[in-house]
Amino acid sequence: MQTVDKAMKLLGYFSVAEPEIGLSELARLASFDKAATRRFLVALANHGFIEQDGDTRKYRLGPAFLRLARIREATRPLARMVQHSLDELSRATGETAHGSMFSGEDLSIIGIAEPQRPTRVSVDASQPLPLHATASGLACLAFLDEETARQILAGTSLRKHTDHTCVSKRELKAAIAETRERGYSMAVRTFDDDVISIAAPIFGATGIAIGAISVASVASRFGRESERRIAGPVLKAAAGVSEATGGIIHPAVAAAIDRHRA
């Protein structure tokens, strides 16, 4: 299992900004030796998850992901459902909306909707969202079962993204508790100095968070009434996705939805 974990870790370094990475750089990023890194890459390539450019010798993601993505979307079309909710959410708030799902120790974005205005938050769909530094991450951490949350927190590296990022476990636990009490999360300049985000969890059939719906606003226009104006639609959108996929909404989130309907 450790070998599988290490191989999967390598896949997480590829993105739209860096679609091809050399062997030495991958080894450095993962803190693996080059021989082990090469073995993992060869194994992934044998199954189509990695391929190597014949000229540059750099590695990139392989076509096997396309087949798996088609199977996933054909049998459980969550991405299409989320995208519809995001489009409506972006129109309602005038801000950028995005949806994400758990992917190991972080969140992977599965949909983005941007407003028709010149100044807006841009979200990179290939960039993983760290749990400790984003509203989406906090929304998920707050509504996990205690054992899963404990394991994730134990293995989470509290990397500092801005001067406002939670960099201590005590600070992070306080933010999680506040989110659970409120029913939704807020991240004020914690991942990007120019962004304030509000997120609500997407729940699975067991009543545990499996992802989040978030709205990201340019910090300079986030005024006194912005939280209430945005939180209600975010809660509604996340609850709609949860219910459509058979999820059980946590009582604290249900209470928050009722408050924002009043």
Residue 71 lies in a domain: no
d(CA 202, CA 248): 9
Shared-domain flag, residues 102 and 59: no
pLDDT in tens, 99-129: 999 887 789 999 999 999 999 999 998 889 9
Q: Which residue has the tokens 């104006």?
A: 229
In the block, tokens 């969890």 appear at: 201
Among 66, 90, 108, the domain-final residue is 66
135 shares a domain with 23: no
* Mean pLDDT calculated for residue range 237-259: 92
Structure tokens at 193: 């100095």
pLDDT in tens, 51-72: 999 899 999 999 998 888 788 7
Amino acid identity, position 15: S
Do both 129 and 148 map to the same domain?
yes
Q: Are 50 and 108 found together in one domain?
A: no
Number of domains in the chain: 2
d(CA 126, CA 50): 16
Instruction: Supply angle C-alpha 159, 152, 210, rounded to 5.
Output: 110
Phi-psi region of 207 (alpha: psi -120 to 50; beta: other; left: phi over 0): left
Same domain, 214 and 128: yes
pLDDT over 90 at 142, yes or no:
yes
pLDDT of residue 1: 54
Average pLDDT, the chain: 91
User: Does the residue 224 lie in any domain?
Assistant: yes
Cβ neighbors of 70 (< 8 A, separation 6 or more) are: none
Q: How far is CA 18 from CA 14, 15, 25, 27, 78, in A?
A: 6, 5, 11, 15, 27
Confidence tier at 254 by pLDDT (50, 70, 90): very high
53-59 LR contacts (CB < 8 Å, sep 24+): 53/20, 56/20, 56/22, 57/22, 57/23, 58/20, 58/21, 58/22, 59/20, 59/21, 59/22, 59/23, 59/26
If asked whether residues 29 and 127 sit together in one domain, one would say: no
Q: How many CB atoms lie within 10 A of CB 254?
A: 14
pLDDT tens track for 170-190:
899 999 999 999 999 999 999
Amino acid 88: pLDDT = 96
Judgement on whether residues 177 and 153 belong to the same structural domain of the protein:
yes
pLDDT tens-digit readout, 18-56 = 899 999 999 999 999 999 999 999 999 999 999 999 899
pLDDT (mean) for 141-152: 85
Strands (DSSP E) contained in 147-208 are 185-188, 195-203
CA distance linking residue 211 with residue 40, whole number of Å: 29
End-of-domain residue from the set 47, 66, 85? 66
Percent of the chain whose predicted confidence (pLDDT) is above 70: 98
Domain of 162? 76-261
Write the pLDDT tens digit of every residue in 197-232: 999 999 988 899 999 999 999 999 998 899 999 999
Instruction: Output the six-digit token pair for 165.
Output: 């990022």
- Whether the per-residue pLDDT at 145 is higher than 90: the answer is no
| 158 within some domain | yes
145 and 42, same structural domain? no
Strands 129-130 and 50-52: unpaired
Taking the C-alpha atoms of residue 55 and residue 173, their distance in angstroms, rounded to an integer, is 48
Q: 214 has which bridge partners?
A: 98, 199
- pLDDT(262) > 70: no
If pLDDT is split at 50, 70 and 90, which confidence band does 244 have? confident
Weakest mean pLDDT among 87-96, 120-129, 147-156, 250-259 = 147-156
CATH number at residue 125: 3.30.450.40
By three-state DSSP, how is residue 52 classified? strand
- The pair of three-digit structure tokens given for residue 219, joined into one six-digit string: 């910090």
